[in-house]
């Protein structure tokens, strides 16, 4: 999991390790982890693309399975559009 210094705490790190997730979190007071910005850009860009879908930005449906379905549909549409751009 990628996280900024706001998530730097031993309880957060311990919980991630308990779930067998590798925490990649900068420590407070230390220099930033080199290259983490490139990885976080992918995540931030994905959220920006998902916010183009109003139904996901303003959550109209309160049922989790419907929200998950719309998120999957939005991700599929974003992947399709990106693949469509790269094909000649």
What percentage of the chain reaches a pLDDT higher than 90?
9
pTM of the model as a whole: 0.51
79 Cβ contact list (under 8 Å, min separation 6): none
pLDDT digits (tens, 9 = 90+) for 37-70: 666 777 778 778 887 877 676 666 677 787 788 8
What torsion do the CA atoms of 37, 7, 58, 54 make, to the nearest 10 degrees? 10
Predicted pLDDT of residue 57: 64
Q: Say whether pLDDT at 34 is over 80.
A: no
| pLDDT for the residue numbered 82 | 85
Give the chain's length: 88
């Amino acid at each position: 999991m990628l996280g900024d210094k706001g998530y730097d705490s031993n309880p957060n790190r311990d919980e991630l390790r308990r779930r067998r997730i590798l925490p990649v979190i900068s420590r407070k007071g230390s220099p930033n982890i080199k290259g983490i910005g490139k990885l976080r850009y992918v995540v931030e860009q994905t959220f920006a693309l998902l916010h183009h879908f109003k139904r996901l930005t303003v959550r109209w449906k309160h049922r989790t399975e419907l929200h998950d379905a719309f998120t999957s549909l939005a991700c599929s549409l974003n992947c399709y559009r990106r693949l469509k751009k790269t094909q000649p």
